[in-house]
Amino acid sequence: MLDQTIRRVVITGPESTGKSVLAQALAEKYNTQWIPEYAREYVQNLDRPYNYDDVVQIAKHQIRQEETMALKVRPGGILFFDTWLIITKVWFEVVFGKCPEWISTHLRSSKIDLFLVCSTDLPWIADQVRENGGEKREELLEIYCREIGSFGFKFEIIGGIGSIRTENAIKALSAHGMNLPSVQVV
């Protein structure tokens, strides 16, 4: 069973929008845990194109990661996610035209406190895993926001380059009652 006293914040958005950098930076600032993106690691280690069953395995792993990492967060703390299951749902639908129903069921029962959706104001950088540059990024940004909203989750769009992006994320978190931990002077 997941610890309901911790806050869960998902950093998400289209490809090449600084999600990993932001998730790690926020975890450091808030002195807590973050879950790195698993899909990228999984796909990079395949010696073939990914398929539907691979994405099923990725989704199942994402759920296990949340259960495991939540145990490492102090009560009242925040667990940051570098992407999450809702984006996997969109991935299923965009690439394969269908998604396992158990994913929607899991999403409806999930306790995500806030999504920080990274805007496309960072340049897209191609690599061996990325597939959606150009106008597709804007289209996916709209789809992600619509999908997040359809499940009733709160979200903020985060823009800015470099440390400004992190500062904007901290402001959004603070607006939702998640302030930086205070430093005790000894």
Distance CA 185, CA 98 (A): 54
Assigned domain for 186 exists: no
Between CA 152 and CA 159, with CA 157 as vertex, the angle to 5 degrees is: 170
Domain that holds residue 14: 7-175
Assigned domain for 138 exists: yes
CATH number assigned to the domain comprising residue 20: 3.40.50.300
The number of distinct structural domains making up the chain is 1
Please indicate whether residue 35 or residue 15 has the higher confidence score (pLDDT): 35
Mean model confidence pLDDT for the chain? 91
Write out the two tokens for 166.
């992190």
Write out the two tokens for 40.
């990228």
pLDDT tens-place string over residues 61-96: 999 999 999 999 999 999 999 999 999 999 999 999
* Crossing angle between the packed helical segments 19-29 and 163-175, to the nearest 10 degrees: 60
| 78 strand-pairing partners | 7
Query: Does pLDDT of 185 surpass 50?
Result: no
Assigned domain for 1 exists: no
Strand 114-118 relative to strand 33-35, pairing: unpaired
Query: Does pLDDT of 174 surpass 80?
Result: yes
Closest CA to 51 of 15, 108, 92: 92
pTM for this model (two decimals)? 0.91
Distance CA 50, CA 73 (A): 32
Assigned domain for 167 exists: yes
